Each structure stands twice: as structure tokens, then as C-alpha cells.
Amino acid sequence: MKKIFFLLLFSLTLVSCKENKPKLLKYGAYENKIDALISKMTLEEKIGQTNLRGVSSRAKILPEDLKESVKNGNVGAFLNIMNLDYVDELQRLAIEESPNGIPLIFGRDVIHGFKTLFPIPLGLAATWDAQIVEKSSEIAAFEASAAGIRWTFAPMLDIARDSRWGRIAESPGEDTYLATILGEAYIKGFQGDDLSNPHRIAASAKHYIAYGAAIGGRDYNTVNLSEPLLRNVYLPPFKSAIDAGAATVMSSFNEINGIPATGNEFLLKDVLRGELQFDGFVVSDWDSVIEMIEHGFARDEKHAGELAAKAGLDMEMTSEAYENHLKELIKENKVTIEELNEFVRNILRIKFRLGLFENPYRNKKHTGNFYAEKHLKEAKKAAIESTVLLKNKNSILPISTKAKVAIIGPLANAPHEQLGTWAFDGEKEHTNTPLLAYKNANANFKFAKGLTHSRDISKKGFKKAIEIAKKSDVILFFGGEEAILSGEAHSRANIDLPGAQEELINELAKTGKPIVLVIMAGRPITITNIIEKTDAVLMAWHPGTMGGEALYEVLHGIKSPEGRLPVSWPKTAGQLPFFYNHKNTGRPADSTSFIPMEKIPIAAWQSSLGNDSHYLDAGFTPHFPFGFGLTYTSFNYSDMSISKNTIHFNEDLEVKVSIKNTGEKDGKELVQLYVQDLVGSITRPVKELKRFKHVFLKSGETKEISFKISSKDLEFVNHKIIKAAEEGTFNLWVGPNAAQGLKTSFILQK
């Protein structure tokens, strides 16, 4: 009975979520060549293609036995080979000395730039700008390909709803729609239109899937989620990357509902290949095949190899289950030769698309133009557009360039730290820090760190910092987190400013001078304790190589802060996970009935007191909502209209709204459109982002902005795994963030 139910559910899954897909995978021009090559390969060579061998990202020496393996055709790809002579030599061995001369692919984590570093991906997401994301990955590809790298382990498309999770820094934030737009842009930027262009690199959409849903934001942790949630929230960014041509996909470390992603046949075969029609190759994450033993899913290395192979994993990163056991597994008929051939086919297809058969070697004339003027210019632009202004009391910002400035804080001159996580190849000697930018601008400033690094608890430096603060017109406090406090395996339970930063800000506040807090960090930092001591707060993320100049220009109004939050900013870590597109619940939080902790009468009778789904001590709103960001001007939204009150399926609804720049400065607004499906066959989120548009307005200028949405935008996957829009009433908002906006409603009818 159970079996029948699953079979039914499974076939329904395939039928209903397929969405007019062609029956065959989108195999391209190389299939005959691939088959011809496979027919000549020995079993050992085939297994060799599935091996991704690597050295640590810091390794300088190439182990001798790796060369031997290449000669024998036992390696398909490498990661982290950064010595150019080794790259050349290994490729030569593969082409000239291995049995069938199959080229190697060299991979690397080129995540937000190679040498020229852009803001961390969460910062790039704060630009809400696909062009910037595309450009940054194009430049990353151009620089990295000069080092022989033709494959990056990016973009990370894991939706992240918990700022404790260290890898939120690498994520596109909490919203699925924004992540789908940016996911496509990353792929276009890395890969271009033609992967055989030697200045482009293959991308890897990672980590498939739901890695960001780890319990409590603890890295690598367990993920339990329903299939509708998986499909509605976590899958669309991967679909978008695959539709844009992502060459590879990386399976994630985590388990999903008890099955590790790396051994998950349903997700790798049925969804990724069957539904999303992915025709590149799937690589495991670092050792994630053998980690299935620790997960308690595989008995031993051989079993782990078998489970990964049966699930459809094509290439194994670093661990050696395939290398050590595939031959035996095939002999025992536990894995078939057809299955192995399919892995090899998928891998060779990407090698052909990369043009590696015609052009295997690194072009020695291609220098990558590391840190070229135009690369730095784009990095600076990205850093400017990623800064999010969170507070600006009495318009203290922008500051006059003539003001006497006290530059204080552990991140004011921290060239390594401002590059952020996954910055292996960017050299700190090239970092433009805020201090350097002030020096170069010949600005009127004094500098005292106050704290040597973000975790410093010593107060030794306070005195000097307070002295210079007293003599200044304004204090610029560059605080936040060092790069190592976010990223992989660097989750935090408390996300306040670490070390004695709050204490120093409190001391500085006693001088009575205005304080501008500039935060450089890999995640939102809870600032509830000290925000009242500040006059302005600017979130700069880890802004990359050009962060200093970018911040100088923003702080002094040469440029405006243009970023908007790609994640809700919590008041306290206790609110996490927090995301704007939550469900309503049966007792939604309500500001009119909410009784905060301090107002509860002593010895109160046990009742809900009117309290609903929220915290007594932290309420139910974030500190700053998703989509939020101030500018140096102000905007007014008015005259919203919709083309029809009722639309039919596949008919467009046009939404118009007037935006006026009511401030004295020119500025750019990010206009956001959200909808709410009031009643569904499964409950629906209170709001979902569906469109956004940047609009530049001169002071006093008004523009009419229009958006179009259709029933396609209202589709979701329900409990029967049917993807469809459902008839009914929808609320619609157009506004500056997820918590504000003009509201209307419309009906969707058959």
C-alpha cells in the first residue's frame, strides 16, 4: 500500500512539475564525439574522469603521485592547483601521455572575484542589480582564467534565512525571487554565451540543495523541510541557473529529510535531471561522499560510493570512494557500466563545451590584467551600490569633505578583513582601505584604531581614540567582524559586534560628537544595544578591494548609498530564523494586542494576554525589514493603479505607481512589488517579492513606474506537488521595502 502511494506520488511529481519540458535532455553537438571517446576508454579511465583531485587551497607543492595518476588517466579534474607550472605540466601529461589524451579541468573557489575582489555575495545581493553581478563574475572569470582556472565553485544559491549561519555571507540572501534573478546573472557573467571562450569559466550552482536551511544556522546541520517548501523556496534559484546554462551543480553537505544530498536519488535524478533537464555534471562537495558514513547513511566507503553512484553523482570531490570501489561495484552489478558511462558523458560534455579538447592549455599571453583600472572601477561601483544606509539621524550623512573626521575602529584599516570570506587569491597589498582612501583624498582626519581587531577586548587603545574623537567634528567608527567570523563553518550564536566594540562606542558617545557606525561584516550584526548611541549606520558588508574609496565617496556624498537589505535584519539573534515571507499562522502577531514583557502585570493570570505568535521581549518585527535602505533623499509613492480588478490565467496585470523624489538631492529608489495569495490549497506566505525596479529621480522629479505580472508569477507547488496558480483574491503592494507600501488587491479567475 505504502509503495503504491509513493509510486503514485512520484509519478504525480514528475508529471505535474515538468512544465512543458522536452522529453530528452538538451544534449548538444558533441554527443557522437563523446560516445566515440567513451568506446575507447578503459574502465579505469572512465573512473578516472569522475575523480576531482585537490590539494588544500594553501598548498604550494604538487604531490608526485598525482602526476602519475594523470598519466594513467586516473584524474578528471583538479582543484586548487595554483602554481602555473604545475597547471601546465599536469595538462601536458593528460594530453600527451594519458591513454586517450582527455584534458583536465582546473577548478577553484572564485566566489566574489579572483584578484580584484568584489563585495561578498551577500553584499552583491544588496545591490539588487543583475548587471553588477554579471559584470563582477565576468571580471572574476577573466582574471581567474589567466591562472588556468576554467571552473569555479560558484555561485552559491542557497537561500539563507538565519544570520547566525556563517555562509549567509556567500548567499544571495533570504528571497527566492531575488536569488533567481541574481543566479542567472552569475551564470551569464562566469560563462558568457560561449563556454569555449578561454576567458570564461564553467560555473557550479551550489549547494544543491537547502544547505542554508540548517537547524539553528549551524553549518552542515540537519535539514527538514516539506517538498512544497523545497520547491517553492529553495529550488527556483537552481532552476534559473540551469536554464541559464550552468555547466555544473555541486551537491550539498547536508541531509534533507534524512537523506544526504550527495546520495539523494530523488533530488539528483528525478528533480535535477528529469525536471530541470540539467545536462552538465554534478560534483560532490569536499568529501561529502564519504561524509555519508558520519551521517549514518552509508556503512563504509564502498557503500558511500555505491549510494552516490546510484543517486547519479557524476564527480567526486577529494574523497576516493569512486576511485577505490567503483570497479568492484560494477563487477558486483551494484552499479552498472551504463551508469558510469553516463557520468563520463556528462563530464566530457562540459570539457567539450569548454573547448578544452581544441584548446587545453593556459594561454600564457593572457595575463588576466589583475587589478586593472577597469576591474577596480567595477569593484568600486559594486561596493558603492552594495552599501545600505540603515540610519541617518538629522541627515548627518553625507558629511562635508571639509569636516574634521576621527577615524576609529578595527576595520578602518584592515586590508585582509575587508576582503571577506573566500578571498584566497586577492592580495591584501592591493586593498584600498578607508584609511588609505582618506589619506589619498588628503582629507582632514586623525586615526586611532581603538581596538586592534574586531574581537579585541583590551581597552588599551580607548584613550587615544577618545582623544582624537574629542577634537573632531564627527566620529567614523569602522566596526564589524573580521573575515574569518563568517563563511564556512563559522556560525555565531550571538551576532552582536564582537570584542569591546560596543564598549568603545559607548565611551566615544560620551564625547558628545556625532558617531557614524560603518559596519563591515559577513552578516547582519545586531546593533540594538548601541544604535541609540549612533547618529548614522551604514552597512558595507565586506566590500572587497575597493571598499575604502567606495565608502569615502558614500560618506561624503560624492556617491549615494544605493543598497537595500537582501535579508531581514534582526533585533536579536533570538529572533532567528527570520524572514519576511513567513506564514500568517492561526494567531498572527498584531501590534494592537501585543503586550511586551515589561507591561505584563505581576502575578498575571495565565492567559495569552492578547499575545500571539511572537516574542515577549523582541516582538515580531525585525530591526530593519527585507528590502530596506535609506538614501540621501526621500521618495513618495502615490497614485497606484491596476489595469484590471480581475485577471484571467495567462493575462497580464499592469500595475502603475508614481514615485516622486521629495528631497533635495537626486537619488535612486528601488521600487519593490509584493503579493499575497490570501487563500491557498496550502497556506501561503504573508508577502512575496515578485518584481523590482531601480528608478533614478532628480530632486523634485516624478516618474510613473509600471510592472506586469501574470498568473505565472502566482504559481506555487502545493501538497500534491502540483505547480499552479490558484483562483482567488490577492493583495498587492508596491513600496520601498517588505514592511511598507501602497496596497491594492485583485482577483485571479479561470
Instruction: Give the residues lining the site for ligand BGC (CB under 6 A).
Output: 109, 153, 206, 285-286, 488
Is the peptide bond prior to 207 cis by the omega test (within 30 degrees of 0)?
yes
CB of 285 to ligand BGC, least distance (A): 5
The residue annotated as part of the active site, out of 279, 285, 314, 425, is: 285
- Please give the grid coordinates belonging to residue 391: 540610519
CA 116, CA 123: separation in Å to the nearest integer? 15
CA 468, CA 407: separation in Å to the nearest integer? 8
| Cβ–Cβ < 8 Å for 708, 674 | no
3-state secondary structure at position 201: coil
CB of 488 to ligand BGC, least distance (A): 5
Exposure letters 104-117 (e unless 16+ CB within 10 A, then b) = bbbbbbbbbbbbbb
CB of 519 to ligand BGC, least distance (A): 25
Instruction: Identify which of residues 253 and 628 has a Cβ nearer to ligand BGC in the complex.
Output: 253
CA 278, CA 239: separation in Å to the nearest integer? 9
Q: Does residue 88 have an active-site annotation?
A: no
| Cβ–Cβ < 8 Å for 533, 509 | yes
Candidates 422, 527, 433; CA nearest to 114 is: 422
CB of 146 to ligand BGC, least distance (A): 20
Instruction: Identify which of residues 261 and 530 has a Cβ nearer to ligand BGC in the complex.
Output: 261
Instruction: Identify which of residues 152 and 511 has a Cβ nearer to ligand BGC in the complex.
Output: 152
Residue 230 has what DSSP assignment?
I
Exposure letters 516-542 (e unless 16+ CB within 10 A, then b) = bbbbbbbbbbbbeebbebbbbbbbbbb
CA 317, CA 288: separation in Å to the nearest integer? 8
Candidates 185, 246, 172; CA nearest to 211 is: 172
3-state secondary structure at position 412: coil
Instruction: Identify which of residues 286 and 357 has a Cβ nearer to ligand BGC in the complex.
Output: 286
Widest CA span of the chain, in angstroms? 84
Amino acid in the structure at residue 451: L
CB of 57 to ligand BGC, least distance (A): 7
Residue nearest to ligand BGC (CB): 153
Question: What are φ and ψ of residue 288, in 5° steps?
Answer: -70, -15
CA 32, CA 55: separation in Å to the nearest integer? 34
Helix (H) or strand (E) holding 185: helix 176-191
- Please give the grid coordinates belonging to residue 717: 507547488
- List, in sequence order, the alpha helices (H) in 72-175: 84-92, 121-126, 130-145
Instruction: Identify which of residues 153 and 278 has a Cβ nearer to ligand BGC in the complex.
Output: 153
Instruction: Identify which of residues 45 and 285 has a Cβ nearer to ligand BGC in the complex.
Output: 285
Amino acid in the structure at residue 481: E
Instruction: Identify which of residues 153 and 624 has a Cβ nearer to ligand BGC in the complex.
Output: 153
CB of 206 to ligand BGC, least distance (A): 6
| Cβ–Cβ < 8 Å for 144, 110 | yes
**Beta bridge partner(s), residue 249:** 205, 282
CB of 74 to ligand BGC, least distance (A): 20
Q: Which residue has the cell 582623544?
A: 467
CB of 733 to ligand BGC, least distance (A): 36
- Supply the DSSP string of 231-260, one letter for each residue: IIIISHHHHHHHHTT-SEEEE-SSEETTEE
3-state secondary structure at position 641: strand
CB of 260 to ligand BGC, least distance (A): 14
CB of 375 to ligand BGC, least distance (A): 23
Instruction: Identify which of residues 89 and 488 has a Cβ nearer to ligand BGC in the complex.
Output: 488
Instruction: Identify which of residues 166 and 245 has a Cβ nearer to ligand BGC in the complex.
Output: 166
Cα-Cα end-to-end distance for the chain:
36
Instruction: Identify which of residues 247 and 517 has a Cβ nearer to ligand BGC in the complex.
Output: 247
| Cβ–Cβ < 8 Å for 434, 445 | no
Q: Which residue has the cell 500568517?
A: 584
CA atoms within 13 A on the CB side of 68: 3
CB of 155 to ligand BGC, least distance (A): 11
Instruction: Identify which of residues 30 and 286 has a Cβ nearer to ligand BGC in the complex.
Output: 286
Candidates 413, 411, 589, 390; CA nearest to 485 is: 411
Residue 153 C-alpha from the chain's centroid = 12
**Beta bridge partner(s), residue 492:** none
- Supply the DSSP string of 283-299, one letter for each residue: E--TTTTTHHHHHTS-S
Q: Catalytic residue positions?
A: 285
